[in-house]
Amino acid sequence: MKIFTILYDKVMGWVRHPHASWYLAGLSFAESSFFPVPPDVMLAPMSMARPARAMRLALLTTLASVMGGILGYLIGMLAFDLVEPLLHQYGYWEKYLRAREWFETWGFWAIFVAGFSPIPYKVFTITAGVIGMSFVPFVLASLIGRGGRFFLVAGLMAWGGESMEARLRQWVDWIGWLTVAAVVLIVVLFRH
């Protein structure tokens, strides 16, 4: 069954859409303050499909993400009472408390690490606003962390380019089914 090849072809069609850059910017902005899907899921295939535009896409993703982070900062600073119930409801409360601990220990570096890593950056942007982190260091750490991550992703995908796209398409069903099997195995192991 070639379900993953069909999905792969559909995604690669979407990333070549004339407005794909706008969608990437919107996703990057939203993910930094409230949306759960990271922009890498669009940036990676867009960079692979159009290697010549990869660095420009990384810059767009970085700037939109930092702007979204500023919104998260403002949410934390001005509207945390409205957001707190959502943190509980969607399972982010423990991450929020951990983020506060990180800020107490590492300050600037907490935002940098959250920006670069798969840690939910949005939790750290909101927390930075709640604790009143200095705004300029917040923005600088966000630019460096998010920029480092997105330029790395775009650069690696552009380096692979169209030949990587073709090879990945060849193996995408194997990779997809192995991933599904691994997730099922992990769930079974953790439940027992």
DSSP, collapsed to helix, strand or coil, labels residue 118 as coil
pTM score? 0.78
- Give the Cα-Cα-Cα angle 73, 76, 81 (nearest 5 degrees): 165
The pLDDT value recorded for residue 67 is 97
Q: Report the alpha-carbon distance of residue 159 to residue 103 in Å, rounded.
A: 36
Per-residue pLDDT tens digits for 134-145: 999 999 999 999
* Per-domain boundaries in the chain: 3-191
Alpha carbon distances (Å) from 136 to 27, 113, 141: 24, 17, 9
